[in-house]
Amino acid sequence: MTRAYNFSAGPATLPEAVLRQAQAEMLDWNGVGASIVELSHRGAEFMGVAAQAEADLRTLLSVPDDYAVLFQAGGATTQQALLALNFAAPGQTVDYVVTGHWSKTAIKQVKPYVNVHVVADGEPGGFRDIPPRDSWSLSSDAAYVHITANETIHGVEFRDTPDVGAVPLFADFSSSIASEPLDVSKYGLIYAGAQKNLGPVGVSVMLVRRELLERAGQPRADIFTYASHAARDSMLNTPPTWNWYLLGLTVKWMLEQGGVEEFARRNATKAKLVYDAIDASGGFYRNEVAPSVRSRMNIPFFLPDETLTTRFVSESKAAGLLALKGHKAVGGLRASLYNALPVAGAQALVDFMRDFQQRNG
Ligand SMILES: Cc1ncc(COP(=O)(O)O)c(C=O)c1O
């Protein structure tokens, strides 16, 4: 069996070592005679897996002690809605920076509950850049400021943490968490669906400064209350144990590989390979994002026409390079270069790109 290089934006490629370990442990986890997925979340076995995953994630991301780490069932979109319910009073103003598709989704989720103020909007510029910080119109009374650290579809990434003063900064790190060192203390809250850099879909991670959990927010069920989840170590109800276990294996693998410093090096190498191939193609391949905010994780790029795009997708797939079709919102092609994609995968892609151009350019 050969595994292809998988450029999917999410669910995405996972480390082969993690998949092999999960396979080996599938029928009998640690000699207990059952799979971890068959054991109670309240038993010592899974409680140990859960606690280890949290400890490893804290180490990987250097999470300060005054931050709670939550493991939430479901995806980032659910967390986007719950932000308003937990941290803003009914009708209170919340500030959102719009840098692409996922910023807009984040706004859509909170609109029924709060007064959304768009601080800056990259859409008139086609989401090719992030509006400069000094052009943002922050509200003085906002409950929080929300950014999307990396726009998975538009390929735009904050390369620095913006200073937003005293109002807590909330960030969607779904597609770039653990891709490089991160100063968690600059954020009030960080959330991420796991299915890109952290493991399988079905669980989201949240890092939240504990004092924020004391906010009243607005009327909501206990199950939608982050403070309740934090008080019960994310075991308020039955958590997604399989996903949490796989996330734990993935985080351990990242630590063994050298942690976020090592992934920062690999990710910079991979992104440079692909952007250099695009930029050296004389316009055959195009990426129009401003170089200073080009995403290291997701690279959308375009060919001169639709026929070539379709041919590229099918020929690359036949060559063992999976999922290079662009998102339907923007078309074209997209290469996602998450932590589990090796440098050799990016190299194989640029070799294919050069060959494809020679044959079709
Ligand atoms: C940056 C970002 N935010 C939010 C989401 C939505 O995640 P989910 O589908 O898990 O709700 C995605 C999904 O790709 C994403 O890339």
pLDDT at residue 12, rounded to an integer: 98
Instruction: State what percent of residues in the chain have pLDDT above 90.
Output: 99
* CATH code for the domain in which residue 36 is found: 3.40.640.10
**Res. 226: pLDDT tops 80:** yes
**What pLDDT is stored for residue 237 in this prediction?**
97
Question: Does some domain include residue 138?
Answer: yes
Q: Is the pLDDT of residue 222 over 80?
A: yes
With the most atoms of ligand 1 within 8 angstroms of its CB, the residue from 83, 102, 153, 298 to mutate is 102
pLDDT at 2: 84
Q: Is 272 a catalytic residue?
A: no
**31-63 tens-digit pLDDT:** 999 999 999 999 999 999 999 999 999 999 999
Ligand 1 centroid to Cα of residue 50, in Å, is 23
Q: Which of 137, 139, 135, 136 is nearest to 92 (CA)?
A: 139
Q: Is the pLDDT of residue 184 over 80?
A: yes
Residues 145 and 198 in one domain: yes
Mean pLDDT (whole number) for 99-127: 98
Same domain for 28 and 106? yes
Same domain, 81 and 136: yes
Tell me what pLDDT residue 116 has: 98
| Average per-residue pLDDT for the chain | 97
User: Which of 72, 174, 204, 247 should be mutated for ligand 1, with most atoms under 8 A from CB?
Assistant: 174
| Strand-pair category, 333-336 with 145-148 | unpaired
Ligand 1 centroid vs 193 CA: distance in angstroms?
Answer: 6
Domain edge (last residue) among 230, 256, 282: 256
C-alpha–C-alpha distance, residues 335 and 274, integer Å: 9
Residue-wise pLDDT tens digits, 76-106 = 999 999 999 999 999 999 999 999 999 999 9
Q: Is residue 10 assigned to a domain?
A: no
Q: Is the pLDDT of residue 1 over 80?
A: no
Helix (H, G, I), strand (E, B) or coil at 40: coil
The one catalytic residue among 29, 95, 104, 172: 172
Q: How far is the CA of 321 from the centre of ligand 1 (A)?
A: 23
Over residues 332-357, the mean pLDDT reads: 98
Distances (CA, A) of 237 to 35, 194, 225, 248: 20, 19, 12, 19
How many domains are contained in the chain?
2
154 to 15, 32, 98, 128: CA distances (angstroms): 25, 46, 11, 8
197 pocket-lining for ligand 1 (C-beta < 6 Å): no
pTM: 0.98
Q: Considering 56, 104, 196, 325, which one is annotated as catalytic?
A: 196
CA-closest residue to ligand 1 atom 15 = 174
Domain that holds residue 224: 17-256
Q: 235, 309 in Cβ contact below 8 A?
A: no
For ligand 1, atom 9, name the residue with the nearest CA: 75
- The answer to whether residue 328 scores a pLDDT higher than 80 is yes
pLDDT digits (tens, 9 = 90+) for 290-316: 999 999 999 999 999 999 999 999 999
Task: Give the pLDDT confidence score for residue 284 in this predicted structure.
Answer: 98
* Whole-number Å distance between alpha carbons of 199 and 79: 17
Residue 73: pLDDT above 90? yes
- Among 227, 256, 285, which residue terminates a domain? 256
Last residue of a domain, one of 221, 256, 291: 256
Q: Give the whole-angstrom CA distance, residue 182 versus residue 229.
A: 24
